[in-house]
């Protein structure tokens, strides 16, 4: 994937309007088709065939049969297939977990196409379990795999394990170790899934490994590494215990110390919370949002930092199904992104350009702050997401102040002669500040990516600076907590562009977020929001 497209991919603004139809790549489809072939031929005679569909009236009837196994746990079957789609099909965990209304039938359709059978229908409890199991199994993957390898007694057995069998084991391990489900039920139902979806021998293997895990847990003798030895050995042990890539752990220990690194990993492994922004542009105040949440019996609390934001930890499905997002009354937006908009400080009459705008969370918030006076030009290289932004702008009733441009901002800045009061560059980044919400992101990043990203960030900063009018403001922001992408990029930029200087974020955001250098920085552990960075840079007259 080209780095020019990284911003749209890495952004974790609300994905609720996105289609999931193109999640599977050609190569990943081959993997899933291979799995389908392997499981279809192993279907058992105990399954019940039912007539699903009849076509034609008064003519020859065509029958399509579906194979149903009512004894297989639906949440485990769906979880196994979701995990396959994420690891081998390129799907994103946050999109899959938040599809909302209509997802039950879609998920069972994927189960049927992948495993060759259907289970009973998913109920609300099943859907919640799917979200918990999938998110948890991804977050704790390194930890779970370490234990699976240990209980296999042979690493080659683990390395050659069928993808579906491995997902079933991960589910069983997570349910026993982290969800504290009744061990007998977990063993019995995951064994049944393995036997039905694969073959009896696979079920026997799952049975033996899970039973050994139960004994080890009960005896408090799990084979886990000890944090000892040199720095590298300690980092490897911590990476296993808290399930993160070793390179991330070593980097965090270097920058913030071992204790804060552990706290950060614990935050990343916790259940994510979300914030809703009331759409005041549509005359829907935060007090109106609170009333609707109370009516829906969704637990919530007011943001201590931003007037339009409300925090929720559970009940997102209720919000989606009640139509609050679909009606444009609110949007899902983390407070960290709202603070970036506060650093920009949009005022009625301002001309603003958002250089990497899609999917548009910050664009929409800035537009609402203009109160129908001024303009926000949204530029992005991803044309499809720009179309979604345009549709959402109409829904939020801010399309009168938003225009979109499909372009690479590096090329756009060379050809464009218009200068703006305020320029926002929310740059493509590693996303290391949003790992609690993007469970799969930690496994999709490499240390090598950091250098490529820093080069791209420098190029985008140089281009964006050309769009700032004399006396105007350039805001550089990321959803990363890494100094290499944040403070170091600003320092390098100021060396190249002496016409800019730091304009302190003090006065635009609460003082708790302002660093000694005048930047806005949010900490997941300290502030209970996503990690982010924003620098406000003033161009001389």
- Helices of type H across 90-199: 93-97, 103-115, 124-139, 141-152, 155-159, 163-177, 183-197
Q: What are the residues whose beta carbons fall under 8 Å from the beta carbon of 432, sequence distance 6 or more?
A: 248, 445, 480, 481, 482, 531
- The two tokens of residue 469 are 């009018």
DSSP 392-449: HHHHTT-GGGEEEEES-HHHHHHH----EEEEEEE-----TT-TTT-TTGGGG--HHH
Residue 479 known to be catalytic: yes
Burial 211-228 (b: 16+ CB within 10 A, else e): eebbebbeeeeeeeeeee
The three-state DSSP-derived secondary structure of 1-42 is: CCHHHHHHHHCCCCCCCCCCCCCCCHHHHHHHHHHHHHHHCC
Is 362 labelled a binding residue?
yes
Is 380 labelled a binding residue?
yes
CA dist 484 and 252 (Å) reads 12
Which entry of 152, 429, 479, 520 is annotated as an active-site residue? Answer: 479
Is 358 labelled a binding residue?
yes
- Within 242-390, strands assigned E span 274-278, 301-302, 309-312, 330-332, 351-354, 375-380
CA dist 310 and 5 (Å) reads 31
Is 356 labelled a binding residue?
yes
Whether the bond between 359 and the residue before it is cis, its omega within 30 degrees of 0, is: yes
Is 361 labelled a binding residue?
yes
CA dist 489 and 535 (Å) reads 10
CA dist 180 and 360 (Å) reads 40
CA dist 201 and 520 (Å) reads 56
The three-state DSSP-derived secondary structure of 48-77 is: EEEEEEEECCCCCCEEEEEEECCCCCHHHH
3-state helix, strand, coil split of the chain in percent (to 5) is 50, 15, 35
Q: What are the residues whose beta carbons fall under 8 Å from the beta carbon of 471, sequence distance 6 or more?
A: 538, 539, 540, 541
Query: What are the φ/ψ torsions at residue 187 (nearest 5 degrees)?
Result: -65, -50
Task: Give the rounded distance of the alpha carbon of 448 from its chain centre.
Answer: 21
Q: What is the DSSP letter of 300?
A: -
Adjacent-strand bridge partners of 274:
312
- The two tokens of residue 301 are 């609390």
301-302 and 309-312: which strand pairing? antiparallel
CB count, 10 Å around CB of 530? 25
420-426 and 468-478: which strand pairing? parallel
Is 54 labelled a binding residue?
no
Query: What are the φ/ψ torsions at residue 246 (nearest 5 degrees)?
Result: -60, -40
Annotated binding site for S-adenosyl-L-methionine: 356-362, 380, 408, 426
Annotated binding site: 356-362, 380, 408, 426
Which residues are identified as catalytic? 479
């Amino acid at each position: 994937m080209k780095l020019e497209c990284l911003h749209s991919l890495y952004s974790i603004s609300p994905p609720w309007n996105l289609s999931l139809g193109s999640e599977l790549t050609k190569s990943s489809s081959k993997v899933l088709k291979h799995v389908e072939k392997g499981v279809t031929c192993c279907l058992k005679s105990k399954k019940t065939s039912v007539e699903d569909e009849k076509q034609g009236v008064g003519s020859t009837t065509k029958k399509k049969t579906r194979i149903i196994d009512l004894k297989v746990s639906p949440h485990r079957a769906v979880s196994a297939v979701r995990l396959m789609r994420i690891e081998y099909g390129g799907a994103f965990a946050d999109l899959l977990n938040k599809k909302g209304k209509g997802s039950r039938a879609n998920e069972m359709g994927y189960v049927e196409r992948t495993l060759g059978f259907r289970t009973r229908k998913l109920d609300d409890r099943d859907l919640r379990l799917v979200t918990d199991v999938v998110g948890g199994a991804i977050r704790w993957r390194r930890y779970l795999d370490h234990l699976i390898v240990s209980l296999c007694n042979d690493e080659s057995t683990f390395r050659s394990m069928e993808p579906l069998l491995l997902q079933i084991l991960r589910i069983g391990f997570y349910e026993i170790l982290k969800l504290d489900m009744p061990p007998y039920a977990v063993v019995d139902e995951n064994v049944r899934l393995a036997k039905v979806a694969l073959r009896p021998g696979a079920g026997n293997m799952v049975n033996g490994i899970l039973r050994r895990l139960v004994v080890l847990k009960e005896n408090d003798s799990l084979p886990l590494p000890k944090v000892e030895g040199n720095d590298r050995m300690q980092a490897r042990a911590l990476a296993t215990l808290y399930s993160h890539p070793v390179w991330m752990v070593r980097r965090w220990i270097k920058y913030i110390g071992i204790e804060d690194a552990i706290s950060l990993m614990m935050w990343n492994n916790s259940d994510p919370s979300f914030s809703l922004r009331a759409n005041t542009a549509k005359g829907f105040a935060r007090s109106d949002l609170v009333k609707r949440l109370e009516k829906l019996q969704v637990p919530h609390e007011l943001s201590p930092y931003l007037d339009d934001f409300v925090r929720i930890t559970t009940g997102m499905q209720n919000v989606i199904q009640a139509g609050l997002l679909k009606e444009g009354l609110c949007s899902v937006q983390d407070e960290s992104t709202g603070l970036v908009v506060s650093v920009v400080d949009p005022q009625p009459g301002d001309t603003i350009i958002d250089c990497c705008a899609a999917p548009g969370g910050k664009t929409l918030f800035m537009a609402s702050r203009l109160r129908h006076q001024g303009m926000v030009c949204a530029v992005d290289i991803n044309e499809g997401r720009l179309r979604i932004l345009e549709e959402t702008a109409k829904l939020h009733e801010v399309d009168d102040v938003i225009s979109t441009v499909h372009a690479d901002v590096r090329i756009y800045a060379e050809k464009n002669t218009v200068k703006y009061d305020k320029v926002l560059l929310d740059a493509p980044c590693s996303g290391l500040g949003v790992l609690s919400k993007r469970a799969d992101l930690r496994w999709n990043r490499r240390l090598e990516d950091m250098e490529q990203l820093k080069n791209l960030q420098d190029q985008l900063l140089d281009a964006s600076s050309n769009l700032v009018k004399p006396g105007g403001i350039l805001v550089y922001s990321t959803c990363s907590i890494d100094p290499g992408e944040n403070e170091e990029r600003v320092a390098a930029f100021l060396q190249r562009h002496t016409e800019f200087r730091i304009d302190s974020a003090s006065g635009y955001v609460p003082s708790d977020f302002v660093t000694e250098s005048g930047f806005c920085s949010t900490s997941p552990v300290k502030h209970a929001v996503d990690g982010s960075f924003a620098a406000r840079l003033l161009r001389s007259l």
